[in-house]
Chains A and B, each alone.
Chain A
Amino acid sequence: MINLAARDILHNWGKFIFTGIGLGLLIGVTLTMAGVYRGLVDDGRILIDTSGADLWVVQQNTLGPYAEPSSLPDDLWRSIRTIPGVAQAANVTYLTMQVRKKDEDVRVMVAGIAAGGPGTPGWPPHLVAGRQITRGHYEAVADIATGFRPGDRLKIRRNHYTVVGLTRRMVSSSGDPMVFISLKDAQEAQFLKDNDAILMQRRRIRTDPAFSLPGKPDLPEAVIALQTANNYVNAILVRIYPGFALEEVAESIRRWKRLTVYNRAQMEAILVGKLIATSAEQIGLFLIILAIVSAAIVAFIIYTLTMDKIREIAVLKLIGTRNRTIAGMILQQSLILGVIGFVVGKISATFAAPLFPKYVLLIPVDSILGFLAVLAICILSSIVAIRMALKIDPAEAIG
């Protein structure tokens, strides 16, 4: 039996191809949006996965260190280290800021990592070039997405750092590439003021009568030292010994230290469920709108193509063609249009994804779901045209 849909498409291939390309670009945008969402989720997870921590110890009743500010004394890690089951405990500080790269600013998340070495929680697990930080000050490991290369100089606040190594896909939950520096440098950078602000602060303290107590001439200087020093970190990353129950160790820290502790699943829930939930909803809504627009376009195209064939359909019905054959022809054309659109969309999304400034993650399961959604949309969209075709009176062929 002749495949009427295929014959019609071959006969009007130009119309179908160009329509398919138009539809494909729309599908490409839809797939890319799904990739943007996946990229957001992946950005959120990558920070957790690469931190090397089993537990995140943060300020009590906060969602720190990524979703909310958290502040802990920087000597607390020692007492946490003594809790049974804790193999490693390391301070970490995060600050999102602009760093100077020659004549331009690059938005990054600076991570202050505790002294130790590769394998210490918070340290970048793999480098793609250069080496890890070995000096206590003014060395940095940057993600390759920052555009820095080993040997480049970058400026954080008033200090210059030399890039000694490069990582790949080390980003914050908002997708900003990371720069790793020593914890001491990061603590200093966190609250480092400019020279004018420091001078004004010193002058204010020295002239404040509250600090000019008789017999205590060193008090203003002590207050100044206290105010300029930063003895706080955002979180303590904890790794536990194999064989210990994660939740038991976490509960010990909560009970004895009165701190909030998150395990990997909880941290992921915070990042994915809370931090990027609104973005995800926004993208989800956008995906729904795109799906509706795609459905409307497919429906309109198929309806128009069917309207163009009213006379032929009337003749087909008059000469005894079954409704099933006519409905099948329209449905097949709709599906073929969807397949053309999906192929074009997939190719365009694949080529467009690297051009986006933030990470766009196209995963096969989204492509499969997208393909099934396109087929479902095409089937639904063809219903209007099929209903119209089935209503055509064969008498129209006679006149």
Chain B
Amino acid sequence: MSNRGIRIENLSKHFGKGDTAVLALKNINMQVAPGEVVGLIGPSGSGKSTLLKCLGAVIDPTSGRVVLDDEIIFDDGWKQHDLRALRRDKIGFVFQAPYLIPFLDATDNVALLPMLAGMSDDEARKHAMELLTALDVQHRARAMPAQLSGGEQQRVAIARGLVNRPPVILADEPTAPLDSQRTLAVIRILNTMARRFETAVIVVTHDEKIIPTFKRIYHIRDGVTHEEAGEGRSD
């Protein structure tokens, strides 16, 4: 079995201990291949955010294994030493709100990540401009986040998620603040970028409009997932 993209095996997460322990995730198994966009759907409190935090190496799973781009991150209590560097280099995040850094313009919001990774400023900005161009916001490259529309901000946020060419992008309700037209545009962009950069994309959502766009969907309820085929209409 290829380990490219992201693979999760028997992942569980408990909060608390003893009688007060809460089982948030129970034996989750998932695999997302490079270039694939999958949906993660579930009601509030179903464990979506907890799963996303485990996949994003923000919290440690209690047990199970997470393999990211041929690299084991978590394995039954063992974890990689430098999760911060791992998040920087191998995981792209797109949030419900864009959460752009308000005092950096669009280009520098995107370029910051490669700069943090040690790339020169000029090179990082060049990469950022390429992505902004690909996402059709190059004309707003020097604008501050407050000067961008909601759709433009979200595209800049997607560019930031992609800039380090991560093998995985975790998108948490990326279309929540957008109207129908922009929602579908963002999903189209994610699909295009996933194929172009060979990135596995997991989109957490309960937006009915975008559910038909996924080829595969993971439903999560009470910490347990089950997979089903989607309609994959975005193409």
Contacts and interface: CB of A to CB of B under 8 A. Distances in A.
Interface of A: 1-2, 4, 7-8, 10-12, 311-312, 315-322, 325, 393-395, 397-399
Interface stretch (B19-27, B61-69, B109-117, B131-139): B109-117
A320 B172 contact: no
B229 interface: no
A316 B113 CA distance: 9
B172 A2 contact: no
Contacts of A320: 84-89, 113, 116-117
B148 interface: no
Given A319-B113, A320-B87, A320-B117, 17 more contacts: A1-B121, A2-B115, A4-B104, A8-B103, A312-B102, A315-B95, A318-B87, A319-B88, A319-B160, A320-B85, A320-B113, A322-B84, A393-B58, A398-B53, A398-B56, A398-B58, A398-B93
Interface string B132-170: 000000000000100000000000000010000000000
B101 A398 contact: no
6 contacts: A7-B103, A11-B102, A311-B99, A318-B93, A321-B84, A398-B172
Interface string B29-60: 00000000000000000000100110010110
B116 A322 contact: yes
A398 B95 contact: yes
Contacts of B58: 318, 393-395, 398
B96 interface: yes
A319 B102 contact: no
Given A319-B88, A398-B52, A398-B58, A325 B116 contact: yes
Contacts of A322: 84, 116
Nearest to A315: B99
B94 to A, nearest CB: 11
A325 B85 CA distance: 13
A12 B102 CA distance: 10
B103 A11 contact: yes
Interface in B94-130: 95-96, 99, 101-104, 108, 111-113, 115-117, 121
Nearest to A393: B58
A399 B116 contact: no
B156 to A, nearest CB: 13
A12 B103 contact: yes
B121 A2 contact: yes
A268 to B, nearest CB: 55
Contacts of B108: 2, 7
A312 B99 contact: yes
A365 to B, nearest CB: 38
A7 B112 CA distance: 12
B109 to A, nearest CB: 10
Contact of A397 (B99, B115, B144): B99
Contacts of B112: 2, 319
Contacts of B103: 4, 7-8, 10-12
B59 A395 contact: yes
A397 B116 contact: no
Contacts of B52: 398
A318 B116 CA distance: 12
Nearest to B108: A2
Given A312-B99, A320-B88, A394-B58, A7 B104 contact: yes
A41 to B, nearest CB: 47
A353 B226 CA distance: 77
A398 B111 CA distance: 21
A320 B115 CA distance: 11
Contacts of B113: 319-320
Contacts of A318: 56, 58, 87, 93
A374 to B, nearest CB: 24
Contacts of B116: 1, 319-322, 325
Contacts of A399: 49, 95-96, 172
Contacts of B96: 399
Contacts of B111: 2
A2 B96 CA distance: 26
Contacts of B160: 319
Contacts of B101: 4, 312, 315-316
B12 to A, nearest CB: 18
B141 to A, nearest CB: 15
B45 to A, nearest CB: 13
Contacts of B89: 320
Most chain B beta-carbon neighbours within 10 Å: one of A10, A317, A321, A398: A398
A265 B117 CA distance: 63
B110 to A, nearest CB: 11
B114 to A, nearest CB: 10
